Amino acid sequence: MDGEVISLRNKHLRNKHRSSIRACTRMGITVLVAGLTTMFSGFIANTVQAKQEAQQKVLYFTFDDGPGALYTPQILDVLRREHVHATFFVLGSRCTELPDVMKRMQREGHEIGSHGYDHRNLAHVPEHVIRSEVQMADTAIVQVTGKKPRYFRPAYGAIDRRELPMILQMGHPVVFWTVDSLDWKATSAASIIHEVKTWARPGSIVLFHDGVSQSRYTVQALPVLIRYYRTQGYVFKVL
Ligand SMILES: [Zn+2]
């Protein structure tokens, strides 16, 4: 995928609003402001791309907050069994703890992006803090995989849009999502399946988590979703 900021598809404006607001209930109103600002900048930047992609039945499955010792391997098992490649936005601190899981992710053809070093909220922090968070994550990921991650997704989707050029200058296009599976607060696989089926459209970037306790439901929901969308003629791609 090309483009400096991949944030929002025209059709998904409403959903993205909803996702941002829900994510923000966890983090407070400051994140909401940052999230909405970023969202509109992405919307303007990507209208052309959105038009091109709206015709193709492609889904981009993405996983945040890993690697996790328990659920990341299970998610990798599902993806291997179903022949699906996905994008993992990993935390630098966790990469160092689980190098074998990271190497497997890489070996099995998944895209590895950066989710920062330790899930720090980067909304309203000084530029040098953002820079160091991105750099520390890069260093940790390179140490384990030998490769610098391409995309960066800020924790909670929280970043001031004015910081985006700096992150791009560091070699990372910033990627958000257009559909939140809400797996981070799921109490069953069914709610994840329902959420994705309600909102996913051609070209959607779907947010899941592989590093939280609710990821157990993500593991169960994934094969159902993959098979459903395959029967609808969709293909799955990495960003
Ligand atoms: Zn996260």
Asked if 151 and 173 count as a contact pair (C-beta separation under 8 A), the reply is yes
- Average pLDDT on 64-69 reads 97
Asked if 111 and 148 count as a contact pair (C-beta separation under 8 A), the reply is no
Catalytic site residue from 110, 115, 119, 209: 209
> Lowest-confidence range among 45-54, 62-71, 164-173?
45-54
pLDDT at 213: 87
DSSP of the chain: ---SEE---GGGHHHHHHHHHHHHHHH-HHHHHHHHHHHHHHHHHTHHHHHHHTTS-EEEEEEES---TTHHHHHHHHHHHTT---EEEE-HHHHHH-HHHHHHHHHTT-EEEE--SS----TT--HHHHHHHHHHHHHHHHHHHSS--S-B--GGG---GGGHHHHHHTT--EE--SEE--GGG-SSHHHHHHHHHHH--TT-EEEEESSSTTHHHHHHHHHHHHHHHHHTT-EE---
Longest dimension (CA), the chain: 47
Distance from Cα 65 to the centre of ligand 1, integer Å: 5
Over 60: is that where the pLDDT of 114 sits?
A: yes
Q: How much of the chain, in percent, has pLDDT values that exceed 90? A: 74
Report the Cα 217 to chain-centroid distance in Å: 17
pLDDT at 214: 87
Better pLDDT: 54 or 223: 223
Distance from Cα 83 to the centre of ligand 1, integer Å: 25
pLDDT at 54: 59
pLDDT band at 237 (very low <50, low <70, confident <90, very high): very high
Q: 111 is in which domain, residue-wise?
A: 5-236
Distance from Cα 45 to the centre of ligand 1, integer Å: 24
Over 80: is that where the pLDDT of 51 sits?
A: no
Over 90: is that where the pLDDT of 27 sits?
A: no
pLDDT tens column, 119-146: 999 998 999 999 999 999 999 999 999 9
Query: Across-strand partners of 111?
Result: 87
Over 80: is that where the pLDDT of 105 sits?
A: yes
pLDDT tens column, 176-223: 999 999 999 999 999 999 999 999 999 999 999 998 888 999 999 999
Active-site annotation holds for 85? no
Burial label, 133 (beta-carbon count in 10 A; 0-12, 13-18, 19+): buried
Distance from Cα 96 to the centre of ligand 1, integer Å: 17
Cis peptide leading into 67, omega within 30 of 0? yes
Distance from Cα 212 to the centre of ligand 1, integer Å: 9
Better pLDDT: 51 or 224: 224
Asked if 205 and 177 count as a contact pair (C-beta separation under 8 A), the reply is yes
Burial label, 91 (beta-carbon count in 10 A; 0-12, 13-18, 19+): buried
Q: How far apart are CA 78 and CA 23, in angstroms?
A: 26
Catalytic site residue from 12, 64, 119, 210: 64
> Lowest-confidence range among 5-14, 62-71, 112-121, 188-197?
5-14
Active-site annotation holds for 209? yes
Better pLDDT: 55 or 202: 202
pLDDT band at 104 (very low <50, low <70, confident <90, very high): very high
47-66 b/e (C-beta count within 10 Å ≥ 16 → b): eeebeebeeeebbbbbbbbb
Give the CATH number for residue 24: 3.20.20.370
pLDDT at 207: 98
Question: pTM for the full model?
Answer: 0.80
pLDDT at 28: 31
Neighbours of ion ligand 1 (CB under 5 A): 64-65, 155
Q: What is the mean pLDDT of the chain?
A: 84
Task: Give the total number of structural domains in the chain.
Answer: 1
Distance from Cα 95 to the centre of ligand 1, integer Å: 14
